[in-house]
């Protein structure tokens, strides 16, 4: 149990952050008290350590990192810098289902995101921070739960289902790094093999050519790459049995794999994601579905789905707006 009250609806905001940090600054001030309390749960890390790790493993992000710190200017710049580094953050466990399909319109990445509705940024951010346009579902303000870039590379993350923690970066920052620096699956694979992650996570990556890879990563073993189209919240059937049963990870994976075998048509796949066991309603225990994301690498588009609503975003057609989604 999270102890958090379950709201009746979720507020999503689509924003364009250009120049860097301009649109996000006010939102950061709104979210900062909660994120500050969250970071107090993390182990103390000297500034020289987390900054050195960021410069060593993700140097391309450092100019964006520094501009965001400046944009989020406040009375606690050191605390903000520690938070935005997302190095050795507090432990976070969430649920997700991920699937890549081949369709008549090119490759398709579908993913569900399961968590407590009070623990999501609710931000769809379009940015051009490193001369590469990106649309991403944000986490920790500048991290990404999933996203797509102008090269047609799409990526999503899922908790890997093992109860271990080690030195490394939060998975959403690694997702952001891939979107900002990679154009192909092979480039993303090299980055995922190199950058340390602080908890086990499974990344699904697909590019505009249709090439795809699933990466099983963790702090206690080298990254492992497999050509699997479907993944949920276990990397092995031996992983954390209680969590696996609680999140129906095996049942969800079985459903995804049946979709691969029986149909690769787009509408039936969306329909399946909007039904149990893929759509889950255990919100009070941080295991309810908050959105379904549909990425089209060929079109560079994101469509978000809920049982009674759909919203579409394109790199060239992105419109800022607010979206209220009842939880039902």
Report the alpha-carbon distance of residue 131 to residue 321 in Å, rounded. Answer: 24
Establish if 26 belongs to a structural domain.
no
Count how many domains the chain has.
1
Say what the pTM is.
0.96
Give domain status of residue 263, yes or no. Answer: yes
Report the pLDDT value the prediction gives residue 267, as an integer from 0 to 100: 67
Per-residue pLDDT of the chain (328 residues; tens, 9 = 90+): 456 899 999 999 999 999 999 999 999 999 999 999 999 999 888 888 999 999 999 999 999 999 999 999 877 899 999 999 999 999 999 999 999 999 988 999 999 999 999 999 999 999 999 999 999 999 999 999 999 999 999 999 999 999 999 999 999 999 999 999 999 999 999 999 999 999 999 999 999 999 999 999 999 999 999 999 999 999 998 889 999 999 999 999 999 999 987 645 566 899 999 999 999 999 999 999 999 999 999 999 999 999 999 999 999 999 999 999 998 7
Domain-located, residue 23: no
- Note whether residue 230 is domain-resident: yes
Establish if 24 belongs to a structural domain: no
Give the CA distances from residue 74 to residues 68, 78, 114, 317, in Å, rounded to whole numbers and listed in that order.
Answer: 12, 10, 32, 33
CATH number of the domain where residue 128 is located:
3.60.60.10
Residue 12's pLDDT is 98
Q: Residue 76 falls within a domain, yes or no?
A: no
Say what the pLDDT of residue 1 is. Answer: 43
Range of the domain at 261: 90-326
In a domain, residue 199? The reply is yes
- The verdict on residue 252 lying in a domain is yes
Residue 268: predicted pLDDT:
86
């Amino acid at each position: 149990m999270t102890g958090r009250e379950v709201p009746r609806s979720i507020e999503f905001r689509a924003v364009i952050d250009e120049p860097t940090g301009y649109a996000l600054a006010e939102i950061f001030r709104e979210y900062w008290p909660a994120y500050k309390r969250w970071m107090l749960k993390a182990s103390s890390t000297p500034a020289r350590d987390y900054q050195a790790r960021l410069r060593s493993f993700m140097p391309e992000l450092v100019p964006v990192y520094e501009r965001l710190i400046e944009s989020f200017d406040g009375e606690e710049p050191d605390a903000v810098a520690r938070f935005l580094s997302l190095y050795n953050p507090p432990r976070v466990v969430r649920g997700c289902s991920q699937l890549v399909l081949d369709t008549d319109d090119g490759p398709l990445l579908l993913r569900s995101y399961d968590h407590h509705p009070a623990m999501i940024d609710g931000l769809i951010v379009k940015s051009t921070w490193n001369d590469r346009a990106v649309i991403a579902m944000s986490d920790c303000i500048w991290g990404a739960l999933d996203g797509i870039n102008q090269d047609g590379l799409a990526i999503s993350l899922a908790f890997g289902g093992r109860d271990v923690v080690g030195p490394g970066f939060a998975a959403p920052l690694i997702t952001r790094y891939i979107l900002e620096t990679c154009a192909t699956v092979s480039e993303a694979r090299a980055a995922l093999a190199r950058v340390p992650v602080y908890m086990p996570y499974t990344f699904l990556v697909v590019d505009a050519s249709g090439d795809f890879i699933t990466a099983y990563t963790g702090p206690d073993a080298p990254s492992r790459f497999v050509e699997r189209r479907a993944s949920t919240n276990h990397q092995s059937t031996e992983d954390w049995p209680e969590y696996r049963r609680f999140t129906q990870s095996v049942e969800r994976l079985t459903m995804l794999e049946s979709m691969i075998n029986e149909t690769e048509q787009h509408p039936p796949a969306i329909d399946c994601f909007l039904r149990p066991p893929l759509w889950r309603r255990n919100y009070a225990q941080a295991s309810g579905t908050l959105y379904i994301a549909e990425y089209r690498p060929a079109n560079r588009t994101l469509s978000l789905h809920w049982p009674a609503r759909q919203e579409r975003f394109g790199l060239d057609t992105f419109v800022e707006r607010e979206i209220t989604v009842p939880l039902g």
